[in-house]
Amino acid sequence: MAAPTPASAYLHSATMVKAGIFLLARLHPAMSDDPLWFWTLLIVGGITMLLGAISAIKYFDMKALLAYATVSQLGVLVMLLAFQGEEAYIAVAVGILAHALYKGPLFMVAGLVDHATGTRDLRRLANLARPLIWVTVTATLAAYSLAGLPPSFGFLAKETMLETYYHFMEHGDQAVGAVALVAGMIVGAFFVLASLTLLWEVFYRKQADDLDQAAHVHHKPSFSFVVGPLVLTLIGTS
């Protein structure tokens, strides 16, 4: 995507990609008693969240990895909207907010890395922790929330999601709830893997895969470039 990084981060974390989720949420009170609504959202959302999570770790472009993680998160939200009850509504609301607070900074981190080195290719990036210290701090905290580790907002989103599936398994259809719970756990594991891949490949490993075209820092961003995503990240991990 050729859009400026702030616009890309805004659209892909908080607004444009959530428009469909907002529409489904608005329709949910009127449609939730229809079995066709339940099964459509459950199946489409479940397949989307699994394929998105698996696809994320296959790409070498930082923004592509983050974009497919977004696809997976949207699948999670669609699947949650299949369920009725307060737990599901809370999980959707928390999931939307948590996603905005960690994915926006991560997209901006991808832009900062691209600005500094001229590339987003994970095969050419390595050992940027020292030259891009504040970018590294921001990326680490945001990826920590993406992985769903405590006490981040991402952890709260993952826990409310799993609680919804567990509640349905206990008080609804046990088989469907168990399948949804296992799928949610698998997606959570892939989010951890995507977070580790992003951090390790860009910031912490010693040398790039492609040594002939290894990237170097040409335009070190000032702290004013980092303060915006850093503030969002701190909100999401507090």
Helix (H) or strand (E) holding 124: none
Q: Are 75 and 46 in contact (CB under 8 A)?
A: yes
Separation between Cα atoms, residue 186 and residue 49, nearest integer Å: 10
State pLDDT tens for residues 1-17.
566 666 666 676 667 78
Q: Which residues contact 185 (CB under 8 A, 6 or more apart)?
A: 162
Tokens of 94: 């928390």
Range in 25-39, 68-82, 132-146 with the lowest mean pLDDT: 25-39
Residue 178 pLDDT more than 60? yes
* Tens digits of residue pLDDT in 121-174: 999 999 999 999 999 999 999 999 999 998 899 999 999 999 999 988 888 788
Please, where are the H alpha helices in the chain? 5-13, 19-31, 35-56, 62-80, 86-117, 133-146, 153-171, 174-199, 223-237
Neighbouring-strand partners of residue 61: 121
In this prediction, residue 33 carries a pLDDT of 85
Residue 30's pLDDT is 87
pLDDT (tens digit per residue) in 83-128? 888 888 899 999 999 998 999 899 999 999 999 999 999 999 999 9
State yes or no: pLDDT of 51 exceeds 90: yes
